[in-house]
Amino acid sequence: MKELKISLYSLLIQEFIDKEPIQKFKAGTILFNEKETVKYVYILVDGAVSLGRVHVKGKEFILKILNGEELILEYQIFKDQPFYYYYGKTFTDCEMLLIKREDFEEFVRTNPAANSALTAWLSTRYLKAQMKCMDLIMNGKKGGLYSILIRLCNTYGVPVEDGILIDVPLTHQELANLTYGTREVVQRMLKELRELGVVSYEQQKLTIRDLNYIREAVDCQRCPIEICGIN
């Protein structure tokens, strides 16, 4: 009989849901900043959270946007006095379960199922990060935007009559922050895609009308959604 594997998220919810209250956060709330000592592991129950860095010159970079049932585990596990390498900020109104770092580490250290699930989760995260880096390095600024659009479709895409609606509001600046480019460059590239009928952009939401065009432009390998996402 094939063993049923339970996700790390599910195991943490089962273990801590009756021990810690679910907390609500307004959009734009700073959860933690770079270099702050890690106090909590955040279990995202509802909403979206952005993780990123601010360059010394003030330029902001969004590394990923986590949504739905996700973990915010952005530090070196099992290290004495670890700190955050990124900032964490709520992208929308959120509900989260906060677990003390020490309690989380004790749980995954002593629970075999949680330890196995953590290993699988970290492996997927590693592959996802590698694929994102490869896309940005190999395909330049235009390919970087195109690959982000594919990832946004996989994470937030909702089928509609004329294509795939990316059901999260994104300004041109936020798209630039995701692609490590400038707002002006992103605006120009989106204008080209609109003129070609590949995308539309209304009320800060993108609709991808011709996903195959974007995929062919970056030689998309059609990786599984768990690997090719914005989270």
Per-residue model confidence (pLDDT) at position 219 = 82
Mean pLDDT of 49-65: 82
Asked if residues 8 and 31 have their Cβ atoms less than 8 Å apart, the reply is no
Asked if residues 13 and 74 have their Cβ atoms less than 8 Å apart, the reply is no
Give the β-pairing of 22-25 and 48-54: unpaired
Cα(195)–Cα(16) distance, integer angstroms? 51
Mean pLDDT of 133-154: 81
For tokens 């609500």, name the residue: 24
Taking only the tens place, the pLDDT of each residue in 85-124 is 889 999 899 999 999 999 999 999 999 999 999 999 998 8
Cα(30)–Cα(66) distance, integer angstroms? 14
Instruction: Please state, in angstroms and as integers, the Cα–Cα distance from residue 31 to each residue in 21, 26, 28, 86, 111, following that order.
Output: 16, 11, 9, 11, 28
Taking only the tens place, the pLDDT of each residue in 204-230 is 899 999 999 999 888 888 887 778 887
Asked if residues 177 and 52 have their Cβ atoms less than 8 Å apart, the reply is yes
- Which pair of tokens denotes residue 25? 């956060």
CATH code, residues 132-217: 1.10.10.10
The 10 Å Cβ neighbour count of residue 192 is: 12
Cα(97)–Cα(13) distance, integer angstroms? 8
Spans of all domains in the chain: 8-110, 132-217
Count CA atoms closer than 13 A to 45's CA, side-chain side: 17
Asked if residues 127 and 134 have their Cβ atoms less than 8 Å apart, the reply is no
Query: Residue 1 pLDDT more than 70?
Result: no
For Cα atoms 41, 44, 48, give the angle at the middle one, nearest 5 degrees: 120
Identify the band that residue 3 occupies on the pLDDT scale cut at 50, 70 and 90.
very low
What percent of the chain has a predicted confidence (pLDDT) above 70? 96
What percent of the chain has a predicted confidence (pLDDT) above 90? 49
Mean pLDDT of 140-162: 87
Per-residue model confidence (pLDDT) at position 5 = 57
Per-residue model confidence (pLDDT) at position 222 = 82
Query: Residue 28 pLDDT more than 90?
Result: yes
Query: Residue 69 pLDDT more than 80?
Result: yes
Look over the chain and give the mean of its residue pLDDT values, rounded to a whole number.
Answer: 88
Asked if residues 230 and 155 have their Cβ atoms less than 8 Å apart, the reply is yes
Per-residue model confidence (pLDDT) at position 4 = 42
Phi and psi at 45, nearest 5°, equal -90, -40
pTM: 0.78
Per-residue model confidence (pLDDT) at position 227 = 80
CATH code, residues 8-110: 2.60.120.10
Per-residue model confidence (pLDDT) at position 208 = 94
